[in-house]
Chain A
Amino acid sequence: MKASFAFRIWVSLLGWGVALAMFFPVAWMVLTSFKTEIDAVATPPLLFFHPTLENYAQVNQLGDYAGAVWNSIAISFGSTALGIALAMPAAYAMAFFPNRWTKDLLLWILSTKMMPAVGVLMPIYLISKSTGLLDTKTGLIAIMTLANLPIIVWMLYTFFKEIPGDIIEASRMDGAGALAQIRIVLLPLAGPGIASTGLLAVILSWNEAFWSLNLTAVHAAPLTAFIVAFSSPQGLFWAKLSAASTLAVAPILVFGWMTQRQLVRGLTFGAVK
């Protein structure tokens, strides 16, 4: 089956259109971050201007960028590691020892993601407060782990399903208990899938704003909270806000760019097979 030439042109145009539409705000943000505040609000918007690093210098003076980066890293990687450790046995059990409730259980796990987070803000806030976990990295790691767990379980389940059950059974016959099966057979075979699940979880938790804004103040504030801190008091200073935002997305952008091959390979694993 070969698509017609005209059809392929349209698909290409559509693809580029969507890509540009998604890229434009980010590009504009980066551009704005190098403008002076006056250039930033000029009408019509300026495409050519004298670039300045002034905003970046000020952002660093006004906020604790390094601290926020460290919090973001600790929270996103910490919650991902914990999430995968919890999800592995669950996904393993459901993929290789399904019973009549497995499908329902999977749907229920996913359904928890359909509830608006704000619905449980109050209880979570109160629990965090009374356990002293408010504004701590530990507290946020716990919340982020739970928030991403459904997605991690689902992705791992899908990847595990791709592994022939015979191989797991062969290892059981060979004397492998559950832990040995996971460690010696499952981990190496589902490695790429587990890696891309981890990458996605890191990105999701890096960009998560709701819980980090509501449950942190100073000590555990990650980059999302760092940006917000700039938007309220200095909401009118577009250039500085842009610089702060650029700084916030830069690490994850670099991380995503470095791992994109892995990510794409993992996410299209089932599709190409």
Chain B
Amino acid sequence: MSTLEIKQLRKSYGAAEIIKGIDLKIEDREFIVFVGPSGCGKSTLLRMIAGLEEISGGELLIDGARMNEITPDRRGLAMVFQSYALYPHMTVAENMAFALRLAGVPKAEREQRVRVAAKTLQLEALLGRKPANLSGGQRQRVAIGRAIVRQPKAFLFDEPLSNLDAALRVQTRLEIAKLHRDLQATMIYVTHDQIEAMTLADRIVVFNAGRIEQVGTPLELYHNPANLFVAGFIGSPKMNLIGAVVRESTPGALVLTLDGASLVSVQPATIAAGAKLTIGLRPEHIVVDPQGPISGHVEAVERLGNESIAYVGIGASLPLTVKLPPQSPVALGDKLHLALNGHAVSLFGEDGHALGWTQPQAGG
């Protein structure tokens, strides 16, 4: 049970700086997810925390103690690798007991702890098998079991689900969430999949190109993205991001000209007329409304059973993504009038930062 603190952490390979000064504090028992597009440095940061990569600059503290020079075996962290990295020449039980064996824990206690972990993960029947004779999902559970047995200060996961098929991924995701509740342990979890991040995290850290874009709870990020990158990354289908120009700005109302020349008024705002903005609209916050100010033709419809997704061309560079009820009768080529359903709208300045969210005006 521990806290982790990262201060201005940096990593360079030769001239290339991969991690560009990260500050982050991870509380005890927190489930933190690092999310970001692949190649943005999530694994590198995780491996720096683990001690598997050297820290080029800044400081890593675990429970207040500086860890930069401490080797991985003495940091008290356990890691679950994407490839599982089980020891192929050892049985499941030996794999799980390995760390305890190195630590000189007596045999009886070792076996006891392996048994408990195996029970939690339903691995009891597999304890005598070698990793080669296990399925992907079973190997995954052994890798998690190997971490649990150690009772580490914190768990580190690097894309642990990405080698599993879709159904197993969902199931294992739930198991990891349950594990976190049961163990009450600090967990740091790396993924490029924003759904995993949304479903697992207490707090999400969104990375891009070696920097943190935003830190917050899943819903904070969803409703209050700090910038265009987070807005576009979190949420599926993606948030609509449309260029707009402020036509009128009065204390109570802001009239915008969208790319496609439609009008929406939102409030409140203190932005000068003529300013260029990007407006962010979640697909589920747009509704069909015969009096709606936005109109366009349906370019594609995806029917998912529980909902239908329509892509409406409104003259902007990208079609507007709209989430509709499953039985919605829209068809390809239909002309639709759309309005905002009263939920939050995000506004981003020319520098990509959020201007603070605003409420669409009734009857806009």
Residues of A participating in the B interface, judged by any CB pair closer than 8 Å: 100, 164, 166-167, 169-177, 180, 184-185, 188-189
Contact = CB atoms under 8 A, between A and B. Distances in A.
A266 B86 CA distance: 23
B50 A173 contact: yes
Contact of B77 (A167, A173, A184, A185): A173
B329 to A, nearest CB: 52
A100 B14 contact: yes
Contacts of B71: 172, 177
Contact of A170 (B14, B51, B74, B85): B85
A174 B99 contact: yes
Contacts, number: 58
Contacts of B74: 175
Given A180-B102, A185-B87, A189-B89, A174 B73 contact: yes
A160 to B, nearest CB: 15
Contacts of A176: 73, 102
Contact of B85 (A166, A177, A180): A166
Interface string B78-93: 1101010111110000
Interface of B: 14, 50-52, 71-74, 77-79, 81, 83, 85-89, 98-99, 102-103, 146, 150
Contact of A175 (B14, B85, B103): B103
Nearest to B72: A172
Interface of A is mostly: helix
A170 B102 contact: no
15 contacts: A100-B14, A164-B85, A166-B81, A166-B83, A167-B87, A170-B79, A171-B98, A172-B71, A173-B73, A174-B98, A174-B146, A174-B150, A175-B99, A175-B102, A188-B89
Nearest to B52: A169
Contact of B72 (A173, A184, A188, A189): A173
Contacts of B99: 174-175
A173 B87 contact: no
Nearest to A166: B85
B85 A169 contact: yes
Contacts of B146: 170, 174
Among all A-B residue pairs, the 10 with the closest Cβ atoms: A166-B85, A174-B99, A170-B85, A175-B73, A175-B102, A188-B89, A172-B72, A173-B79, A166-B83, A166-B81
Contact of A167 (B14, B72, B85, B102): B85
B83 A164 contact: yes
A185 B102 CA distance: 12
Contact of B81 (A100, A169, A180): A169
Interface centre among A171, A173, A184, A188 (most CB of B within 10 A): A173
A175 B51 CA distance: 12
B69 to A, nearest CB: 15
B306 to A, nearest CB: 39
Contacts of B79: 169-170, 173
Contacts of A184: 98, 102
B154 to A, nearest CB: 12
A171 B78 CA distance: 10
Contacts of A171: 87, 98
